[in-house]
Amino acid sequence: MTTTDLLVVRGLVAGYGAAPVLRAIDLTVPAGTIAAVVGANGAGKTTLLRALSGMIRPAAGQVLLAGEDLRGTPVEQLVRRGMAHVPEGRGVISELTVDENLRLGGLWRRDRADAGRALDEVYQLFEPLARRRRHLGHQLSGGERQMLALGRALVGRPRLLLLDEPSLGLAPRVVARTMALLRQLRDRTGLTVLLVEQNVRSALAVADQGVVMSLGRVVIAAPAAQLRDDVDLRHAYLGF
């Protein structure tokens, strides 16, 4: 595992109108690690992912991906540089088949042969998707749709995966499987993950770093183990 910082965020300010939601976010995520972003409803977690993936334009601050400043970079270029965003609600296209949805994730890649290999790898990783290649998006269960959204992102071979609430609406067993998969991807491929989760326990169990947000700021960024084990910290910042 490399110790290079893949994502560095400095003084990021962003929002939807005149009043900013993110108020000077600072964040560092080393390559090959999982950072879990947790915090109360409305803290700005989803907004942070949107600002990083170019869905909303930051008003101020700096985002570096592997040392490269991303300011002004079009969304399509962000994808080419290795950023993949799986939004809350997942964005699976209901009218397309599993296979078509997955192929969308690799359409932009010039290396067609490797895009094909990445697709095969995703089918190996998600066996239920391989069995349902011809099924339409709307015929899938919630857990399968989550797999599909994640799989589609992975077909692009991202370096940084921005994952918003993957556990939303899923059975505990499926949540556990998703978290185990993230750990496996980190360990086997060196994938770096910024994981936004309401399910704090599950997220901290899999993460290397815990990032607690409140009112548009990062109030603590610490090793996940420290947040898990320190009762005072948990009471103060996470309420359990």
Sites of contact with ligand ATP (CB under 6 A): 16, 21, 39, 41-47, 198
C-beta of 33 vs 47, nearer to ligand ATP: 47
CB of 217 to ligand ATP, least distance (A): 12
Please name the amino acid found at residue 93: I
C-beta of 44 vs 210, nearer to ligand ATP: 44
CB of 146 to ligand ATP, least distance (A): 17
- Residues β-bridged to residue 36: 195, 210
How many other CB atoms are found less than 10 A from the CB of residue 17? 6
C-beta of 17 vs 72, nearer to ligand ATP: 17
CB of 75 to ligand ATP, least distance (A): 17
C-beta of 3 vs 41, nearer to ligand ATP: 41
Ramachandran angles phi, psi of 227, nearest 5°: -65, -35
C-beta of 39 vs 158, nearer to ligand ATP: 39
CB of 60 to ligand ATP, least distance (A): 17
- CA angle centred on 109, ends 85 and 168, rounded to 5°: 20
Q: Tokens 């290649």 belong to which residue?
A: 133
- Residues β-bridged to residue 200: none
Rounded Cα distance between 61 and 5, Å, is 17
CB of 151 to ligand ATP, least distance (A): 23
Q: Which of 98, 23, 87 is nearest to 58 (CA)?
A: 23
How many other CB atoms are found less than 10 A from the CB of residue 128? 15
